[in-house]
Amino acid sequence: MSFGLLKHFKDHKKGFQAQNAAKFVAHVVLGSDLGSVLKLIELRKSHPSESISLITPRVVNKKLLIENYQYGVSHMRSQAAVAEIYKSHFDAKISAQKLNPQFYKDGKFHEFSGRAKSMDLLTGEHFFLEKGYRLEISSLFTTEDWENLDTIISQHIDIRIVEGIEKTE
C-alpha cells in the first residue's frame, strides 16, 4: 500500500471523527420501529423539543412505518396484548384477522389443520398458530401528530450507527 493512500485514509478518519463530536441530549430514543416513534411522541408532550433525540440506523417516516407494519407478521396474537394496547391508547382500532394462520410448503400455502403436514414447530413458534390482530397505526396518534408525523420525526432524527454510549453525571 502506498504512503499516499495511507495518508488519505488517515485524513479521512480524522474528518469522520470531527463530524461525530459528542453532544449532550437529555432524552434519547433508540430504534426505527413504531414503538420508538410512539415513545418520541410521548416525550414531546412533557419535555422541550431540544432535549429529545431519535437515533436510528436508517431513515424513518410515516410511509415506511405503514409499509413495515402492513407487510410484516402480526405480533399481536392474544387478548392480553390487545388489552395492554387499550390501556395506553383508548382510541386504538384493532381487528382480528379473518384467515387462519398458514404455512408454506411445496409452493403453496396450507392451513395447519389441513392434510399437509407442517414441519415440527420449535419452542415459542406455537405463538403463530393463533389468529393475529391488525392495528390501524394512525389510531395510536392524535390527528395532529399523525398529519405532522414526518415533520416531527425529521426534527428529532439522528441517523447513525451507535458504537458506544458513555454515561455522564
Of all helices (H) and strands (E), which one includes residue 111?
A: strand 108-111
Per-residue pLDDT, 28: 93
Per-residue pLDDT, 138: 92
48: cell is 422541550
| Distance in angstroms (rounded) separating the CA atoms of residues 32 and 59 | 8
| Distance in angstroms (rounded) separating the CA atoms of residues 48 and 42 | 12
| Distance in angstroms (rounded) separating the CA atoms of residues 10 and 5 | 9
What residue ranges of the chain have pLDDT lower than 70? 1-21, 73-74
CA angle 104, 105, 110 (to 5 degrees): 60
Instruction: Name 121's Cβ contacts closer than 8 Å, sequence gap at least 6.
Output: 128, 129
Per-residue pLDDT, 87: 92
Nearest to 73 by CA among 154, 112, 122, 129: 129
pTM of the model: 0.72
Per-residue pLDDT, 10: 67
Sign of CA dihedral 136, 98, 75, 105: negative
